[in-house]
Each structure stands twice: as structure tokens, then as C-alpha cells.
Amino acid sequence: MLEVSQLTRQYGDKTAVDNISFTVPNGKVTGFLGPNGAGKSTTMRMLMGLEHPTSGSALIDGQKYASLKSPLSTVGALLDAKAMHPGRSGLQHLRSLALTHGFPKKRVDEVIEMTGLSAVAKKKVKGFSLGMGQRMGIAGALLGDPQNVILDEPVNGLDPEGVIWVRNLARHLASEGKTVLISSHLMSEMSQTADNLVVIGRGRILANSSMQDYLKLADDQRVLVRTDQRDEFASFLSQQGVNFSPVETDGLMVEHTPARDLASYALDRRILLHEVTPQVATLEQVYMQMTRDEVEYHSGDFNAANGSVIAPGGSPSQAPQADPATMYESPQTPWGQKGSN
């Protein structure tokens, strides 16, 4: 179990992590979400004893990392996939880790096999692709068969097969009763992987709940109804001041009205509804609503018609100007999205 309690980390004037508390329970995958610069990596690094908290605590199974008797068997982390000696092979890297921690060579072979690296394990780390480096980092994290696993952006650079593999791995570890904390910017992936979510923005907790409860926070609850008496039902809804929009030939997407009320209105008016489907918000929709004002590094919108970039809250300019406030931002790509970082 991981326990973060009133944790704060300041770098000079900058408060990277601001008095946050949350628990990551055993047997669950907990997604750790937040915009760039929200404080996820800093929190994970404090759990792993790589940064000292300014105040508060970050504990693993009730202990600070530095006090753990058998660190690699208690917690395994992928924090920076490039943190390996470039001149060594993956096999050498894992063997030296195993040797210093007293794990048998057999365990190295097991994690190499588990992470799909058998064919490249003897290659020098400097020749690794981003995805191979990620897999090697995960292999290192799993070496001690730890009770707690912390993965910072593990799917970064992985191909679709690798992304599914990480999902299955996380689910498998949780099914064995292990604690899994995993950060990612891939919302669709996270929605399939995590049981619980901790969302942070500008160093503060924005949400800490089960995935199910989180999805209920969508502020635009909508219900799709279908009926052969659409005009009649639509005119009734208009009289009630309910907002809706037509869908295909027989449907209405109705806003802010519970499905039960809609069914009841229809029954009273002897209108047969042949479909009443509450729309489930996606994780991405709820997350975007929640973090709208928490994004430290905003991208401008790209105007495909004339190639201009509209600065956040501003008017079009022909070329993006270098601005110290956005110096961490990825360059605008021709298709108007941020590149990966």
C-alpha cells in the first residue's frame, strides 16, 4: 500500500506538490492523472526516496523508502526509462541489479521473457528504441517481484501490442493483490486499466475516487431516447424548457434530464419510447472538464485555413512567438496538436 499524507514539495518559489493526501490500496490499479507539470512525477519520485518532501510524508507499506529492508522486493518503479548505462546490454543491466540485491539469475531470465525482450536482451542499451527502453525499465521494476509497482508513463513509446501488454500486466499484478500506481496521458487506455483514479492539477488533488464515481462527475449528463412519436415528444420537451437535439430519424439526445423522468413523461402522454439510454461520459470528457483551468502549458488552436496559430485566449498571429511562459510547450505540429514530450 502507498500512503501519501499532506505531501508538499517546493522548488524555490514553485510549489510542485501542494499538500496532497491519498492512499493507493492493494489489489487495485490506481491511475494517476494530471496535465503536464501537475506534479505526478515529483510525487512518484518522493515515494521512491529520490526527492525529499518539503513537508508531509510518502510511505510504502508504512515506511519511507530509505527505511525499507528489502527495497526491490517491496517496491518496483519505472520512473525514467533512460536511466540505464548506455554501454551495457539490457541483460548486463538486469544481472547487475539482481546481483547487488541478491536475486537469482533465473529471475533475470524470467523478467526478460515476461517483458518480451528475449531477442534484444544482449543488445547495448544505447541502441534501444523508446519502447524497448520502456520494457527494460518495467523488467527492472519487476525484478524483485515487488508488492508495490509504480509506473510513470509506462506506455510512452510503446506500440499498440505493447500498450495492451502493459494493461494486462497492470491488471494481472492487481489480481495478485499487488498495489499498482500508474500515470498516463492516454485516457482511453487508462479507462480500461484503472480501478481508481487520483487526479491532480497544479500540485493539488482534484479528484480521488473509483473510476465509476469519477465518470459520474460529467456535467453534461445526456440521455438518448428513441420513439416513433418523436415530434409529439419533442414538442412536449420544448414546452418544459428541456434542451435536446434530434438524432437520426427517430431519436432525441436530451440534456440534463434523468432517464426515469423521461420515461415517466412519455408514459403519462402514452408515448412509447423504444430506447432510453443514459450516455456514459468518457474518461477523457470528464478529465478535460475537470482540468480545463489547471493546465499550466496551454497550446494555441491551429487554423488550418491560413496556417496561423491562435494563442490561448488571444487573436490569430502568423507565427507562434517564443514566450518564456510557454517554454516547456512542444512545438505546434502541422496537424495542430502538441507533439509528444
Residues that bind ligand ATP (CB under 6 A): 11, 14, 16, 34, 36-42
Return all residues near 59 (Cβ < 8 A) that are at least 6 apart: 2, 3, 4, 5
CA distance linking residue 225 with residue 270, whole number of Å: 15
Q: How far is the CB of 169 from ligand ATP (least distance, A)?
A: 21
Q: Which is nearer to ligand ATP, 265 or 287 (CB)?
A: 287
Q: Which is nearer to ligand ATP, 41 or 191 (CB)?
A: 41
CA distance linking residue 188 with residue 192, whole number of Å: 7
Dihedral, 172, 173, 174, 178 alpha carbons, nearest 10: 160
With contact defined as beta carbons under 8 Å apart, do 96 and 81 qualify? no
Q: How far is the CB of 141 from ligand ATP (least distance, A)?
A: 17
Q: How far is the CB of 42 from ligand ATP (least distance, A)?
A: 3
CA distance linking residue 284 with residue 288, whole number of Å: 6
Burial 54-66 (b: 16+ CB within 10 A, else e): bebebbbeeeebe
Q: How many CB atoms lie within 10 A of CB 281?
A: 19
Q: Helical H runs in the chain?
A: 40-47, 71-74, 90-101, 105-114, 130-142, 160-175, 187-193, 211-215, 230-239, 259-268, 283-291
Q: How far is the CB of 81 from ligand ATP (least distance, A)?
A: 13
Return all residues near 75 (Cβ < 8 A) that are at least 6 apart: 47, 48, 60, 65, 68, 146, 147, 148, 149, 150
With contact defined as beta carbons under 8 Å apart, do 193 and 42 qualify? no
Q: Which is nearer to ligand ATP, 42 or 147 (CB)?
A: 42
Q: Which is nearer to ligand ATP, 39 or 53 (CB)?
A: 39
Q: How far is the CB of 198 from ligand ATP (least distance, A)?
A: 12
Q: Which is nearer to ligand ATP, 50 or 242 (CB)?
A: 50
Q: How far is the CB of 32 from ligand ATP (least distance, A)?
A: 9
Q: Which is nearer to ligand ATP, 35 or 71 (CB)?
A: 35
CA distance linking residue 46 with residue 120, whole number of Å: 32
CA distance linking residue 20 with residue 3, whole number of Å: 10
CA distance linking residue 80 with residue 153, whole number of Å: 9
Q: How far is the CB of 47 from ligand ATP (least distance, A)?
A: 12
> Would you state the cell numbers that stand for residue 73, as one nine-digit string?
522486493
Q: How far is the CB of 336 from ligand ATP (least distance, A)?
A: 20
Q: Which is nearer to ligand ATP, 35 or 76 (CB)?
A: 35
Q: Which is nearer to ligand ATP, 37 or 53 (CB)?
A: 37
